[in-house]
């Protein structure tokens, strides 16, 4: 394949991004329709414009509008889309079997506290689909085929993948009741006498400690595992920010008096765009999303 053929092939792959931005007038709105991220949409638009040597959109604070070149391309792209959709409809049903293997990556805290029941229910519902589950806090690279489906906890996802935001969870500052009884009444106004269990390394903990309700509390035992932090807090080692769903699972954890529950990160389901029509992958993603949403109450504190 020569350079011209290779670039022409890439142009075809970028046409859907052009069409959705033309229809919605927004990178983010187009990303929602396509199941990707605004960064992916923008990158493909820029590459398409560079390939053609023209601007296809005028960009402003109010959104994106077609240039004269974009207006010329639009009906041609729409005709190409109709042809592709016609071919897709003819091929539907060739991968309808709920069988085979799906590789799933989940973070450690979900593996121990949320996912076991969901995965058992999935196995019972789809016994012919085999799961290969990796439990890791590392973001496995879907584009390098390290996994097929990833459960990720993040504020935003900028990867060049299909991302489905399932729900956002809340977090608060928690400790054990025994720890509060021993230390809280004698603590200073800014946390003097209290102890944080930090995330990551000590230097990385400083910013969130300073902005917390207890900037004078000491930071000890900086830990990279939310599961270990949870169990150390249960055993009276100190206090830490925790997702509310963890506190719901362990009644001995209580929110520090006078502190608020606040929205934190979101739970995402990520997969490669090439796999979104594969039956076994789609069934797994839909099942996990449905079961997580059915458990929505545990992700927001319902107590005090």
What the block records as the tokens of 57 is: 């959109």
**Longest CA span, the chain:** 75
User: What distances in angstroms separate CA 101 from CA 208, 257, 280, one per listed residue?
Assistant: 41, 48, 8
3-state secondary structure labels for all residues of 106-173: ECHHHHHHCHHHHHHHHHHHCCCEEEEEEECCCCCCCCCCCCCEEEEEECCCCCCCEEEEEEEEEEEE
Name the residue ranges covered by the structural domains of the chain: 3-91, 100-165+265-297, 170-263
- The distance from CA 249 to its chain's CA centroid, rounded to whole angstroms, is 22
CATH level 3 topology of 3-91? Arc Repressor Mutant, subunit A (1.10.10)
Q: Across the strands, what pairs with 131?
A: 102
Let me know if domain 170-263 sits in CATH 3.30.230.10. no
Task: Report the pLDDT value the prediction gives residue 95, as an integer from 0 to 100.
Answer: 57
Strand pairing report for 149-154 and 129-135:
unpaired
User: What distances in angstroms separate CA 4 from CA 10, 13, 53, 80, 273, one per listed residue?
Assistant: 10, 15, 14, 19, 25
Task: Report the pLDDT value the prediction gives residue 155, as an integer from 0 to 100.
Answer: 83
Task: Report the pLDDT value the prediction gives residue 290, as an integer from 0 to 100.
Answer: 94
Q: Across the strands, what pairs with 154?
A: 266
| 197 CB-side CA count, 13 A | 25
Report whether 103 contacts 134 (CB < 8 A): yes
Angle between helices 3-24 and 27-34 (to 10 degrees): 110
Kindly report the CATH class assigned to 100-165+265-297: alpha beta
- d(CA 292, CA 285) in angstroms, rounded, equals 11
User: What distances in angstroms separate CA 156 from CA 104, 164, 258, one per listed residue?
Assistant: 20, 11, 29
Q: Which of 107, 101, 229, 105 is nearest to 175 (CA)?
A: 229
Mean pLDDT by 10 residues, the chain (304 residues): 48 88 91 86 92 92 92 92 67 61 88 90 93 79 70 80 86 93 90 84 67 88 82 92 87 90 89 80 93 89 52
- d(CA 207, CA 200) in angstroms, rounded, equals 12
Q: Which of 131, 218, 139, 231 is nearest to 183 (CA)?
A: 218
Residue with tokens 């022409």: 8
Task: Report the pLDDT value the prediction gives residue 304, as an integer from 0 to 100.
Answer: 41
Report whether 226 contacts 108 (CB < 8 A): yes
Q: Across the strands, what pairs with 220?
A: 197
What the block records as the tokens of 253 is: 């954890």
Q: What is the DSSP letter of 239?
A: B
Same fold, 100-165+265-297 and 170-263: yes
Report whether 191 contacts 214 (CB < 8 A): yes
- d(CA 283, CA 292) in angstroms, rounded, equals 14
Task: Report the pLDDT value the prediction gives residue 160, as an integer from 0 to 100.
Answer: 66
Q: Which of 225, 223, 217, 216 is nearest to 201 (CA)?
A: 223
């Amino acid at each position: 394949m020569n350079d011209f053929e290779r670039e022409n092939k890439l142009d075809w792959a970028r046409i859907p991004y052009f069409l959705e931005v033309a229809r919605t007038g927004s990178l983010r709105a187009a990303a929602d329709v396509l199941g990707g991220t605004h960064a992916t949409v923008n990158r493909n638009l820029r590459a398409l414009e560079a390939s053609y040597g023209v601007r296809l959109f005028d960009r402003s604070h109010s959104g994106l509008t077609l240039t004269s070149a974009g207006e010329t391309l639009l009906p041609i792209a729409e005709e190409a889309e109709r042809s592709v959709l016609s071919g897709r409809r003819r091929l539907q049903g060739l991968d309808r079997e709920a069988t085979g293997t799906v590789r799933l990556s989940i973070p450690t805290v979900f593996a121990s506290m949320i996912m076991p029941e969901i995965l058992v229910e999935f196995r019972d519902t789809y016994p012919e689909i085999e799961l290969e589950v990796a439990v890791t806090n590392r973001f496995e690279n879907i584009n390098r085929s390290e996994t097929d489906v990833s459960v990720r906890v993040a504020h935003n996802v900028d990867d060049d993948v299909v991302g489905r935001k399932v729900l956002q969870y809340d977090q608060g500052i928690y400790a054990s009741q025994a720890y509060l009884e021993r230390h809280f009444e004698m603590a200073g106004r800014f946390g003097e006498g209290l102890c944080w269990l930090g995330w990551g390394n000590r230097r990385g903990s400083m910013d969130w400690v300073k902005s917390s309700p207890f900037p004078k509390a000491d930071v000890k035992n900086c830990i990279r595992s939310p599961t270990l932090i949870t169990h150390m807090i249960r055993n009276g080692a100190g206090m830490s920010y925790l997702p509310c769903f963890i506190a719901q699972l362990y009644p001995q954890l209580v929110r520090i008096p006078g502190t608020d529950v606040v929205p934190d990160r979101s739970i995402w389901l990520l997969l490669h765009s090439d796999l979104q029509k594969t039956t076994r992958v789609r069934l797994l993603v839909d099942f996990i999303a449905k079961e997580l949403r059915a458990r929505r109450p545990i992700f927001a504190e319902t107590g005090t």
